[in-house]
Amino acid sequence: MDNEAMEFLFQIISHYGVSGLPSNPITQLYFGKTVFVNLELPAKVPLYLKTRAKVLREKTIYTEHMALKFLMEDDQKEQLSQHIKHHGFYPTEYVRKYPRIPATSDIQTFPLKTIVKPIIPMIEFGKSQHLVMDVINLSPNGSLLSSESQLALQLNPGQKLNLELEARGWFPVSVYMEGMICRIRDDLNVLNGNLLRHFGIKFTKIDRINKAAFMDLLKDILENIKI
């Protein structure tokens, strides 16, 4: 970070980067920028890597963190992948009940858009009181959504939302449910400079009719995933 250097010990690293790093005024200045990172991964034969990474911002109900998204070369990705394969472990602090299904337009029925409406009306949303977000991934109990809209900045962790999963292809109906924002991750779109905000959503309430429709939708998606 220019003339600044920071050291973070005993962090959990994945193929994609590292999250949950302490946030302070210095790290906040570098949000959205690319920095150089020196990685030291302990083992009988330690792995040392120097790579570029992008500084992201994370927010939960309780706190705010910094995160790093690695921008590795292919050979570095392979080295890290092999090291994790032989020396890594599955996290135990938080284990997802269901795997996330990445959004894809190749599957006819996969919803790529979600209409989001705050359950408690917000003045900032005006008369429409809704925001259209992109679906990044989907699971039976949650979803990752994203938006570059300025309205997205008004939403915060812990906020409850009405959600409408867009119907696509032959699937006849949209699916309606309630959800809660558990985590927010901010990035900068390198192509246009817009703030790109990701929302980790937990589904909290769905009625019987919509639950049946959602199960049918997930079944069709799983049957059409290309392995």
Q: What is the pLDDT of residues 127-154, one digit of tens each?
A: 667 899 999 999 999 999 999 998 898 8
The fold of 101-223 is Thrombin, subunit H (2.40.10)
Tokens of 133: 């977000």
Contacts of 188 (CB under 8 A, 6+ apart): 31, 32, 194, 195, 196
pLDDT one-digit tens code per residue, 156-200: 999 999 999 999 999 999 999 999 999 999 999 988 989 999 999
Residue 58 is encoded by which pair of tokens?
A: 């994370």
DSSP codes of every residue in the chain: -TT------S----SSEEEEEE--HHHHHTTT-EEEEEEEE-SSS-EEEEEEEEEEEEEESS-EEEEEEEE--HHHHHHHHHHHHHH----SSS--SS--EE--TTSTT---EEEEEESS--GGGTTT--EEEEEEEEETTEEEEEE--GGGGG--TT-EEEEEEPP-TT----EEEEEEEEEEEEEE-TTT--EEEEEEEEEEE--HHHHHHHHHHHHHHHHT---
**Residue 93, pLDDT score:** 62
When pLDDT is cut at 50, 70 and 90, the band that residue 87 belongs to is confident
Q: Is 64 exposed, middle or buried (0-12, 13-18, 19+ CB in 10 A)?
A: middle
Alpha carbon distance, N-terminus to C-terminus of the chain? 41
Pick the closest to residue 194 from 152, 223, 135 (CA basis).
152
Which residues on neighbouring strands pair with residue 60, listed in sequence order?
183
Domain residue spans in the chain? 17-87, 101-223
User: CB within 8 A of 23, min separation 6: which ones?
Assistant: 57, 64, 65, 66
pTM of the model: 0.87
What does pLDDT average to over the chain? 90
- What pLDDT, on a 0 to 100 scale, did the predictor assign at position 15? 84
What pLDDT does residue 2 have?
A: 58
